[in-house]
Amino acid sequence: MDSTSSNTPTSTSQPDWARIDASVKVPVLFFIYAAAAWLVTASVLGFIAAAQLVQPAFLADCAWTTHGRIVPLARNALIYGWGFNAAFAVMIWMVARLCRTPAPKWGATLVGGLFWNAGIKLGMAGIIIGQSTGHFMLEMPAYAAAIMFVSYGIIGAGVTVIFSRRREGNMFASQWYALTAMFWFPWLFSIAQYTLVFGSLRGTSQAIAAAWYGHNVYALFLGPIALGALYYLIPKRVGRPITQYPLAQIGFWSFVFFGSFGGLATLVGSPVPAWVQTVGISANFMLLIPVFAIAINLGVTLLSGSKAGGSGPALKFFKLSVLSFVAVGGLSVVLSMPSLSHTIQFTFVGEALDQLHWYAFASFAFFGAIYFMLPRLIVRPWPSGALVTAHFWASVAGAIMIIGSLVLAGFAQGAAINDIEGYPAFADVVAASSGYLVALALGYLTLIVGHLAFFVNVVMAIYQACFSKPSDSAETVFSAPAAMEVNS
Amino acid sequence: MPRRKGTKMSQNENSDPRLEASAASDQDIQAVHAALLHDQQEPAQGYSLMPLFMLGFVSTMIFVVAIYFIHNRAGLSDGLGVATTIHHKGYDPQVHGGGEVEVEVDAIAVGKTLYSQVCVACHQINGQGLPGAFPPLVASDWVTGDEERLIKVVLHGLQGPIEVNGAPFNGIMPAFGPSGTYKWSDDKIAYVLTYIRQEWGNAAGEILPDQVTAVKEATASQTAAYTAGDL
């Protein structure tokens, strides 16, 4: 579809985009497969953790499956397993497309990917047998982190090589986000590992460093890559340029600058110096600037051209992703008001915000991007339309149930424990939220259904690509789009 | 500005939702957006409201957040050296801190917390104790009467038979002073005594930490728990 313009001479009959897609096909398909498999794992672990909140005896007899180990396992599978693999797939494909350069070689990237996933498996085994470091989002033992760090370097080097050979002079917003995120993560990861796991920080400053790292995995890696995918694929799907595109520059710089301090707001009410908490709350307020700019850029573009480009799940996922991005920006500000944070700080509401960041915003953007990418990589449509529909609706229903029940459970919990006059017993505080936790467990069951549908579809697609030749060439399967409409 | 009047995106043959038809080529996306940025730097004609609105919005946010920050910057006003001393391994509040700090304490509130952590186990939440073992604190002359005797009981403990409000009791009251296991400070003992003297309808006077200190020094030789007869 993305036909080369007629005046660009190409050595082969294939259009540029088809050669680029073919050059990154193997590693990107591997990352999509690994991501989908981790996603199923994460939702199963998430369900077990939620079930243990409802029925504490569930799987509690064996140390390996106690709640304290299942929760970090679920989180690591979701973030490093699903999130990072999906981000790698999107990043490699998007950078190659926008630099209009086929990847020279893919072998090293594939090896990097294999080791990244081996590192996660090793790290999760370490958590299971009780070697967790105990730091939020850095639970995996140091030996696993070392493997992940090196394999990330290999994957990142592959993207850097593609970028250094770029044939397109203009840098588009998606490239700002994807390439900067690629360089930020090793910095975040190494500093956090050095200060927390290898240990030069003690006491309160550990909490500050962990909050900084945990939030920045979202704010400086998964979030920017998801935004990059949205900036690229929304105009591509609706056939119209980004509304008020110059705002994207303000949005980018303010998002990465203030976003990196936003995590400190999770420390409100904890024994850290008051000015640290103030920095976090101030950053959340300032984040209204990028939220506004990005909402205009992406939201208005989606609304203005939503009729073009046929139907399919990608645009629906993008709409929900942008909506969640705006919602989490607004909620972070509203919930940091002292009157509310007094009730909801250190309750399930914090996890609800994390799920809005990680799942409803970043993951939905990755889902949409994968629905767009994969048919082009395998040069044929998704194997099953029914599974696509099942995945979409189960993900949406599951996300609403999980986030909704966490918010309600958090408020119930916070209100019960703040009832000082009534001498609350701890058991009563737990009981106050237990009804909502049933809904949480059901939400995870719904997600398991949706993610299994997604995983089966991905496996069938890869199977087809491995064992049969596509019936048509890429430019016959995807017809060329019309020239982009501009009437600003 | 390059206005390429394309035909409206045609709903061509591949409207299969499983293919996610694309409506713009990579070249178009990059060329059109590069032109949009370029136009912004060299405005051709007229002006757009958006930059003006954005300027106002950003300025307002900076203004509001700066005021909020100044009002809640605790720790930063003394300079970064003090604000970050929690990171310093060698930090010692005795050396680096600001010396003595006057803190207003609500004796009743602290006393209530202490009572509900420890005393409540025997004397109960309503201060009625348990028949035969733990005497009531409500309307008891031991509580609302002689202050020195009350302080002595809490400092050093009391054991053996005792008669309170006409009923006999025989139990052990542990010591909360330096000779016991709790080793409460004089402040804590004063707060919890003030609390029990003014709760459940009791209306006796406050007990100050200095009184506890005085009794403690006067009875420093006492090592075992008192009996009712001693007092």
Tell me the pLDDT tens digit for each residue of A360-414. Answer: 999 999 999 999 999 999 999 999 999 999 999 999 999 999 999 999 999 998 8
Mean per-residue pLDDT for A226-244? 92
The one-letter code for the residue type at A74 is: A
Facing residue for B22 by CB, picked from A237, A247, A382: A237
Q: Is B10 on the interface with A (CB under 8 A)?
A: yes
The pLDDT value given to residue A5: 40
Q: How many other CB atoms sit within 10 Å of the CB of residue A358?
A: 21
Q: Is residue B76 assigned to a domain?
A: no
Q: Is residue B86 assigned to a domain?
A: no
Q: Is residue B117 assigned to a domain?
A: yes
The pLDDT value given to residue B102: 62
Q: Is residue B12 assigned to a domain?
A: no
Scanning B61-80 for CB atoms below 8 A from A yields: 61-62, 64-65, 68-69, 72-76
Q: Please, what is the angle between helix B49-71 and helix A247-259, to 10°? A: 20
* pLDDT tens digits along A18-47: 899 999 999 999 999 999 999 999 999 999
Tokens (6 digits) for B93: 């509040």
Among A107-121, A363-377, A413-427, the least confident range = A413-427
The pLDDT value given to residue A179: 94
Mean per-residue pLDDT for A407-429? 85
Best residue in A485, A487, A488 to probe B by mutation, most B CBs within 10 Å? A485
Tokens (6 digits) for A334: 């509203």
Cα–Cα distance measured from residue B176 to residue A415, given in angstroms and rounded to the nearest whole number: 35
The pLDDT value given to residue A206: 87
Scanning A190-229 for CB atoms below 8 A from B yields: 201-205
Q: Which residues pair with B63 in a beta bridge?
A: none
Facing residue for B12 by CB, picked from A281, A388, A479: A479
If one counts the domains in chain B, the total is 1
Per-residue pLDDT at A299 exceeds 70: yes
* pLDDT tens digits along A79-92: 999 999 999 999 99
Confidence band, pLDDT 50/70/90 cuts, at residue A446: very high
Q: Is B17 on the interface with A (CB under 8 A)?
A: yes
The pLDDT value given to residue B11: 40
The pLDDT value given to residue A8: 40
Closest alpha carbon within chain B to A388: B18
Contact A247 B86 (CB under 8 A): no
Shortest Cα distance from A181 to chain B (angstroms)? 20
Contact A488 B34 (CB under 8 A): no
B42: left (phi over 0), alpha (psi -120 to 50) or beta: beta
Contact A375 B18 (CB under 8 A): yes
Tokens (6 digits) for A179: 């390439």
Domain containing B108: what range?
103-218
Sign of CA dihedral A47, A50, A55, A61: positive
Q: Residue B55 burial (CB < 10 Å; 0-12/13-18/19+)?
A: exposed
ipTM above 0.85?
Answer: no
Contact B86 A282 (CB under 8 A): no
pLDDT in tens, chain B (231 residues): 343 333 333 344 456 778 888 888 888 888 888 888 877 655 555 556 777 888 899 999 999 999 988 888 776 766 665 555 554 555 555 565 555 556 677 888 888 888 887 888 888 888 888 888 889 988 888 888 888 888 988 888 888 888 888 888 888 888 888 877 788 888 888 999 999 998 888 888 888 888 888 888 888 888 788 887 777
- Cβ neighbours of residue B126 closer than 8 Å, sequence gap 6 or more: B138, B200
Closest alpha carbon within chain B to A375: B19
Per-residue 3-state assignment (H helix, E strand, C coil) for A157-177: HHHHHHHHCCCCCCCCHHHHH
Shortest Cα distance from B184 to chain A (angstroms)? 24
Could you tell me the CATH number of the domain that includes residue B192? 1.10.760.10
Contact A485 B9 (CB under 8 A): yes
Tokens (6 digits) for A283: 């950053």
Helix (DSSP H) and strand (DSSP E) numbers for chain A: 19, 0
Contact B23 A309 (CB under 8 A): yes
Contact A285 B64 (CB under 8 A): yes
Residues of chain A with pLDDT > 90: what percent? 63
Cα–Cα distance measured from residue A333 to residue A353, given in angstroms and rounded to the nearest whole number: 11
What is chain A's mean pLDDT, rounded? 89
Confidence band, pLDDT 50/70/90 cuts, at residue A470: confident
Q: How many other CB atoms sit within 10 Å of the CB of residue A127?
A: 23
Facing residue for A286 by CB, picked from B1, B18, B65: B65
Q: Is residue B44 assigned to a domain?
A: no
Q: Which residues pair with B163 in a beta bridge?
A: B168
The one-letter code for the residue type at A427 is: A
- Using alpha carbons, select from B65, B2, B72 the residue that is nearest to residue B31: B2
